[in-house]
Amino acid sequence: MSSATLELTKDNFDQTVTDNGFVLIDFWAEWCGPCKQFAPVYEKAAEANPDLVFAKVDTEAQPELAQAFNIQSIPTLMIVRDQVAVFAQPGALPEAALTDVIGQARKLDMDEVRRQVAEEQAQQQAQAQGE
């Protein structure tokens, strides 16, 4: 791991996501070939975007975090903005795709995202009460 990325553990995860408005998280494992292929792409993006927090979760060392986010396959990239997961996708992204995803996440209107999340939660609660 380079100095451009932060290792997330169950001890620093909440604090990191709370203290930073834009966090990219790479869920990976040492034995994972695609994870190793994605690592230099992720590191390069971290160096190109010093205003963002790039973090890594070793799913072997932090199984609770992998389970909490229902990580089924690795690598999985997750983007959290203002404590809301706005992107999560398994698979090693090519450099151009990662750059595009970061650009799209930067452009999100987080007030609109929060409104949509609140709407979905209200619908789920209404459905749960109606059952």
78 touches 88 (CB < 8 A): yes
Told to judge if 35 belongs to the known catalytic residues of this protein, a careful annotator would answer yes
- Does residue 23 carry a catalytic annotation? no
b/e 96-115 (16+ beta carbons within 10 angstroms → b): eebbebbeebeebeeeeeee
Query: Which DSSP letter does residue 109 get?
Result: -
Per annotation, catalytic residue among 23, 35, 71, 79: 35
Q: What is the dihedral of CA 82, 111, 26, 11, to 10 degrees?
A: 20
The catalytic position among 17, 32, 46, 102 is: 32
Q: Which of the residues are catalytic?
A: 32, 35
